[in-house]
Structures are given as structure tokens and as C-alpha cells.
Amino acid sequence: MRNLRKPRISLLMRGVPAALAALALSSCSSVTGSLDGVTGFEKVSGISEGAAPDAAYTLEILHVNDVHSNIDPVRISLRTGDGRTLRAAAGGPEALMSVIEARRKENPDLLMISAGDQITGNAANFDLFHGESDAVLHGIYRDDFYVLGNHEFDHGGKGIAAFVSFMKKHAPSAVFLNSDLSVGPESPMKDTGVRSAVREIGGRSVAFYGVTMPKKIEKSSAPDPDMTFTPAVETVNRLSAENSGKASIHVLVSHEGIEEDLRNAGKYNDIDIIVGGDSHSLCGGFGDYGLDGGCGYPAVLKNASGHLMCMVQANEYGKVIGDLLVSFDSGGNVISCSGRPFMPLDAAHAYFTDKGSEPGDPEAVRAAESLIADAGSPFIRSMPEESVSERLGPWRRKIAEHDALLGTAPEDLCSTRQPTETCVIRNAPVPGGSEVCRAFGEMYLSASGSGSSIFLGNSGGFRTDVERGPFTENSILSVTPFKNHIVRVRITGSELSALLSDAMRYISADMESRDGGIPCGCGFSYALSRSGSSLVSDVKIRLADGSYAPLEPAASYDVLVPDYIMRGKDGYDALGKKKPLEDFGTDADLVRKYLKEHGSLPRLSGEPAISSSGS
């Protein structure tokens, strides 16, 4: 199993298609206007695709986001011109550092920014080092600024304090931007960062701000009771006004997701640049290669003052690094947004998914090199920095020491969340939702001995695809990194139907940031609508003979769920009002128990959780 979580710009719910269609795949795409449901765009004309020749000043920013404790390259699948599926390792610290070093040689004044979710998401790493190896990585990159993402709050103020301490030790150049979070006097967070920072760069004073996403943190993470947040727009506008005499250029580092950034862009008075994160958005010209895209790099918008603004995001897991160039006139107004995302590919070890193709297959290597050489391609050849391998070596060796073969995966399994999402390992949508969630749910039902026939999970609890072949200890920790306990709850049919509907209502309000809550599992199915008053209908339950019958509203059902949603997280508020009847231990332990008995993951059969999705 490799870490194959796909980019999450896929177009499921209301308003999103219009928004992302407006972000055309070009460096001069643009969006302005009201964003109720992310609509109401107009073209900004006259934008140069390169640095403006009459620019008084150009600022260059390299950026990553949502690295999620990944300190190795990530294998992805790409579509070749003849329709075949090619697999190759993308990104990784060595390759990204080669880009950083090359750009620094050209421009010593460039900035390096990390836009949140530096940690968690890969338990093989995080459970051993609790963020220290991630701080080492950002020290290697020599980050200039970073913000907290929602997953930094998974372990409350104590976890944040530990990570900030690691960053001070290993990445001393990185300034912790925190414009919107406050904590109480007894908080373990003794360092809460800076509200804003003004830095002189190439003779210009530039102000920086950082915001995260309170609603998602409160619904999906574990903030301390004494943590409070101020509204992003109000806060940033107040701070930028305070800095108006100190800086003429204003940069916001945001972990609010692409939809929220779009909604807020036209409300910021002074912001010139938004460097974003959270929605794992793959922006740039990737769509022609079997990867979901849908947003331009960079997007060109207008702020509340009517001035141009540049907005970017750089996917996930260290697969991509963005290179943004923004040109300004003498008054500090944006006159040009340009740049590109870089996705380094390890062409030398590429292979096809066809039977018989192995890493280094000459035909596959040529195909990968052809993708890299393609005019306008976002791919570059991976040119590893050996010094990075030396610095990360001790951490990687420790992770490898804890790995062990547990069994096999008999087939590829997709972790796609939305029915329209393209599965990376298949280059095709998976209308039934997360297959990984289904397979793991079957293992929970079997290994728990609970007698339950239904597992209900949240799609975001299953982080990566599963690739056919060896399945190891680190495979489990990559798929399910959060140590959720699997518990049994008894609910009626009407409660289950209402639970699915309520969760989807919460999720659909901000699909790109909340799609981790999409119901998944096994032993039940539902039809998902993209619009209308009822988003969920036709709920069915699997019977003992494997057939499916309509849910009985008055009947009681024993359902296994992760304790995460049992606490009412991700829109499952009604579960938070119930008490579990039984706890079967962690998700990972149940998988280990199943594999010890069966030797391989189950093959999928029967109906998927999402039986259909319509308009």
C-alpha cells in the first residue's frame, strides 16, 4: 500500500461547479463578485501571464500546504496519451528542495511559506515523533512563515505547543503567524505566534497575516475550551489598517479552504495575495493527465478596494510546490499574477499498471519522460538533494524499523470521498464512495465479533488509497492514522436516515473543506442528491443473505461507528447525544486481528454505501 490520497477538487455540491469552472486553467484566470454558494464571477482582463515589464517590484513566493507528516515521495497515477495508466513517485522532500534551492539561486529574496496542516495524517511518522520530524522537514526548507491548520488542533493546545517548540528548535527561521486565535491564561500554548509580521524584502515592506478555520476546528478537531477565534475578514482588515503606514503589500496565509478564500477575497480591504490550504486543491494544468484539477494557478481576483489579488494553493502531501510571482506598481498595487506549480516525477522508476510492468520498465520510463517534456506540462524531473536524505535518514530509518508485513491487498481500493472524484489509482470516478472505508468496515464487523452488520464511518477517516500487493503495519497507519476506537451504538431506522441527512446538510454547506464527513461504510446504502431539500434518500440495509431491503424506520439497528463521529464530529451531532454500548478497541487493532486470521483484505462485493448520486 502506498500513500495515494488524491486531490480533492471534485465537483459535487451546489455552487461549486460554477466557482471552479470560473477558475480556468490558466495563469490569467480570474474571479470577482458575490460568493453566496460561490457564484457571481466576472473576468478580469488585461492581466499579463508573466512578470509585468513595467513592474516596480516583483515578489516571489514558494509554498506548500497540507503536508500531513509525509516525509517521503507519494506514488500517483497518470494518464498517458494512449490511455494507459502510469505510476510514478511524485514530490518528496529531496525533489522539492531541489526546486527551492534552484529558485533561491535565482532570487535570494524569495519566500517559503507553509499554509497549515503540517502534521498528522501519516501515523507511521506522527505517532513516533509527534511532529518533530515534520519540523525538521520545514527547517530543511527554511520556511519563512507558517500557520496552523485544523489538524494541528487534533491534540489540543498541548499538541500545538509541542509542535511550535519543535519548529523553534528545527526551523528557527519560520515565523508562526496567528491573527485569529486566542487562548486562556492557563493554556499550555505559551507561544501563540504573532498577529502580523512586517518584513522588508528587496527594498519593500511586506505585511503578513495568518488565519485558520474555526468552524471546522470546532466540528472536526479537538480545540481546548479556552480557545477562541475572531472572524477572519474583520480581523485581517483591522490588522492591515494598523499596518497601512508600515507596509504597502499585504499577504494572507490562510488555512480556510478554496471556497472560503473565494468567499472572503472580495471582502479584504488590503490583501494582495492569499496563499491557501486545507482543501488540498490541485491548481494548475493537471487535468489533462488524469488528475482532478479545476482551479487556475494563480487565480486572479479583486479585493474590496477594487485592486487585483492573486490566490494560490499547492495540493497536498508534499507532491507539489507552488511558485508564485506577483508584480506591483510603485504604489504597491498588483499589476500581474504569474507562476506555476511544480510536481517533480521520479521517471526512472515509473511503471504501467498493466500486468508485467515493473518499476523502471523502459517503456514506462519513456512515457514519464514524455509527460515531463510535454509543452506546458506541470511536471518536472525529480532532481533529489542528497543532503536532505542525510538529514531525514535517522527519522526514516526509525519508521522503517516499526514496519512489518501483515498480509496482502488483493485489489486496488480507492479512498475517494465524493462520487465525482477521480480515483488516483484508477483514473476514473468511484460513484459508490470510499472503497477503503467499505473494506475496513467489513474487517471491523468481522474482527469485533459484535454481531453488527452495519459499519458507518466518515470518509475522511480513511486517508489513502490501498494499492494491490503487500499490506504492512505502516499501510494501516497511513490509511487510519487517528487511533479511532470502533464502538457499537443502537439506533432506529428513522434515526439512521436523519443522521445521514443531517451530516450531508452540514457537509454540503462547504463541500471542499468538509467532504471528509461524507458517510461511508458497509451494510447499508443510500442515494445522494446534489440539490433539493433532502440530500439523502432511498436508505437500504443489507440482509443476512446479502440482498438489500428498504430501511425500516421503527426497527432498531446495531451499528459500528468510529468514536470520532460518536462524539458528534463532522456533522454527526445526533450521535454525540448517545452513549456507545461497547468499545472494541482501535481501528488499527481490529485490522491487525482480521489480517492475522485471514491473511488478506476482503474483496469488495455487494452494494457500495452510495448507491446513486443524481442532480
Asked if residues 297 and 323 have their Cβ atoms less than 8 Å apart, the reply is no
Q: Is residue 464 domain-shared with residue 377, that is, in the same domain?
A: no
- In this predicted structure, the answer to whether residue 450 has a pLDDT above a threshold of 50 is yes
Instruction: Dig out the grid coordinates for 147 from the structure.
Output: 500557520
Angle CA(424)–CA(368)–CA(288) in degrees, nearest 5?
50
Instruction: Dig out the grid coordinates for 501 from the structure.
Output: 441527512
- The share of the chain scoring above pLDDT 70, in percent, equals 90
Taken in order 601, 606, 610, 615, is the CA torsion positive or negative?
Answer: positive
Cα separation, 74 vs 284, whole angstroms? 19
DSSP-derived secondary structure letter, 604: P
**pLDDT average, residue stretch 587-608:** 95
Number of domains in the chain: 2
Mean pLDDT of the chain: 89
- At 530 the pLDDT is 67
Cα separation, 340 vs 499, whole angstroms? 42
| Burial 385-419, CB ≥16 within 10 A → b, else e | beebeebbeebeeebeeeeeebbebbebbbbbbbb
Q: Is residue 187 domain-shared with residue 247, that is, in the same domain?
A: yes
Cα separation, 258 vs 262, whole angstroms? 6
- In this predicted structure, the answer to whether residue 25 has a pLDDT above a threshold of 80 is no
- At 257 the pLDDT is 95
- At 58 the pLDDT is 97
Residue 23 lies inside a defined structural domain of this protein:
no
Q: Is residue 125 domain-shared with residue 76, that is, in the same domain?
A: yes
Q: Is residue 446 domain-shared with residue 384, that is, in the same domain?
A: no
Q: How many CA atoms lie within 13 A of 200 on its CB side?
A: 2
Q: Is residue 516 domain-shared with residue 470, that is, in the same domain?
A: yes
Q: Is 594 exposed, middle or buried (0-12, 13-18, 19+ CB in 10 A)?
A: buried
Asked if residues 427 and 290 have their Cβ atoms less than 8 Å apart, the reply is yes
**Residue 340: other Cβ atoms inside 10 A:** 18
- In this predicted structure, the answer to whether residue 35 has a pLDDT above a threshold of 60 is no
Phi, then psi, of 307 in degrees rounded to 5: -90, 155
Cα separation, 491 vs 578, whole angstroms? 9
Report residue 531's pLDDT band, with 50, 70 and 90 as the boundaries: low
Report residue 65's pLDDT band, with 50, 70 and 90 as the boundaries: very high
Residue 3 lies inside a defined structural domain of this protein:
no
Taken in order 149, 152, 158, 162, is the CA torsion positive or negative?
Answer: negative
Question: Which of 390, 420, 442 is the C-terminal boundary of a domain?
Answer: 390
- At 472 the pLDDT is 97
Return the amino acid letter for 15: G
Instruction: Dig out the grid coordinates for 293 from the structure.
Output: 484539477
Report residue 31's pLDDT band, with 50, 70 and 90 as the boundaries: very low
- At 293 the pLDDT is 72
Residue 396 lies inside a defined structural domain of this protein:
no
Q: Which domain holds residue 541?
A: 405-614
The model's pLDDT over 333-369, given as tens digits with 9 standing for 90+, comes to: 999 999 999 999 999 999 998 878 999 999 999 999 9
3-class secondary-structure state, position 290: coil
Contacts 24+ apart (CB under 8 A), 364-369: 364/86, 364/88, 367/80, 367/84, 367/86, 368/78, 368/86, 368/88
Minimum mean pLDDT range among 65-69, 72-76, 549-553: 72-76
Instruction: Dig out the grid coordinates for 276 from the structure.
Output: 491557501
- In this predicted structure, the answer to whether residue 533 has a pLDDT above a threshold of 90 is no
- At 21 the pLDDT is 30
- At 38 the pLDDT is 35
Residue 11 lies inside a defined structural domain of this protein:
no
Cα separation, 604 vs 560, whole angstroms? 18
Instruction: Dig out the grid coordinates for 80 from the structure.
Output: 498517458
Q: Is residue 283 domain-shared with residue 345, that is, in the same domain?
A: yes
Q: Is residue 351 domain-shared with residue 419, that is, in the same domain?
A: no
Q: Is 585 exposed, middle or buried (0-12, 13-18, 19+ CB in 10 A)?
A: middle
> If DSSP states are collapsed to H, E and C, what string results for 415-446?
CCCCCCCEECCCCEECCCCCHHHHHHHHHHHH
Residue 93 lies inside a defined structural domain of this protein:
yes
Closest by Cα among 209, 126, 140, 211 to 172: 140
- At 369 the pLDDT is 96
Q: Is residue 72 domain-shared with residue 219, that is, in the same domain?
A: yes
**pLDDT average, residue stretch 90-113:** 97
Q: Is residue 133 domain-shared with residue 258, that is, in the same domain?
A: yes
Question: Which of 390, 422, 448 is the C-terminal boundary of a domain?
Answer: 390
Return the amino acid letter for 150: N
Report residue 613's pLDDT band, with 50, 70 and 90 as the boundaries: low
Cα separation, 118 vs 66, whole angstroms? 6
Asked if residues 37 and 15 have their Cβ atoms less than 8 Å apart, the reply is yes
Greater confidence (67 vs 34) lies with 67
- At 51 the pLDDT is 61
CATH of the domain at 251: 3.60.21.10
Asked if residues 109 and 201 have their Cβ atoms less than 8 Å apart, the reply is yes
**Residue 602: other Cβ atoms inside 10 A:** 19
Asked if residues 343 and 332 have their Cβ atoms less than 8 Å apart, the reply is no
Return the amino acid letter for 355: K
- In this predicted structure, the answer to whether residue 454 has a pLDDT above a threshold of 70 is yes
The model's pLDDT over 245-276, given as tens digits with 9 standing for 90+, comes to: 999 999 999 999 999 999 999 999 999 999 99
- At 269 the pLDDT is 98
Asked if residues 358 and 375 have their Cβ atoms less than 8 Å apart, the reply is no
Task: List, in order, residues 6 or more apart from 406 with CB less than 8 Å away.
Answer: 471, 472, 473, 475, 476, 591, 592, 595, 596
Q: Is residue 355 domain-shared with residue 471, that is, in the same domain?
A: no
Angle CA(339)–CA(342)–CA(345) in degrees, nearest 5?
160
Q: Which range has highest mean pLDDT (7-21, 318-332, 503-517)?
A: 318-332
The model's pLDDT over 271-296, given as tens digits with 9 standing for 90+, comes to: 999 999 999 999 998 887 878 777 89
CATH of the domain at 557: 3.90.780.10
3-class secondary-structure state, position 513: helix
3-class secondary-structure state, position 409: strand
Task: List, in order, residues 6 or more apart from 106 with CB less than 8 Å away.
Answer: none
**pLDDT average, residue stretch 63-82:** 93
- At 322 the pLDDT is 98
What's the distance, CA 190 to chain centroid?
Answer: 28
Phi, then psi, of 499 in degrees rounded to 5: -65, -45
Residue 211 lies inside a defined structural domain of this protein:
yes
Q: Where does 226-347 have alpha helices with state H?
A: 232-242, 257-265
Asked if residues 318 and 388 have their Cβ atoms less than 8 Å apart, the reply is no
Residue 217 lies inside a defined structural domain of this protein:
yes
Q: Is residue 380 domain-shared with residue 463, that is, in the same domain?
A: no
Question: Which of 367, 390, 413 is the C-terminal boundary of a domain?
Answer: 390
Residue 95 lies inside a defined structural domain of this protein:
yes
Q: Is residue 298 domain-shared with residue 215, that is, in the same domain?
A: yes
Q: Where does 492-602 have alpha helices with state H?
A: 493-508, 511-514, 563-566, 587-598
**Length of the chain counted residue by residue:** 615
The model's pLDDT over 396-449, given as tens digits with 9 standing for 90+, comes to: 999 999 999 999 999 999 999 988 887 877 777 889 999 999 999 999 999 999
What's the distance, CA 202 to chain centroid?
Answer: 33
- At 323 the pLDDT is 98
3-class secondary-structure state, position 465: coil
Bridge-partner residues for 87, per DSSP?
Answer: 77, 351
Instruction: Dig out the grid coordinates for 198 from the structure.
Output: 512586517
The model's pLDDT over 192-217, given as tens digits with 9 standing for 90+, comes to: 999 999 999 999 999 999 999 999 99
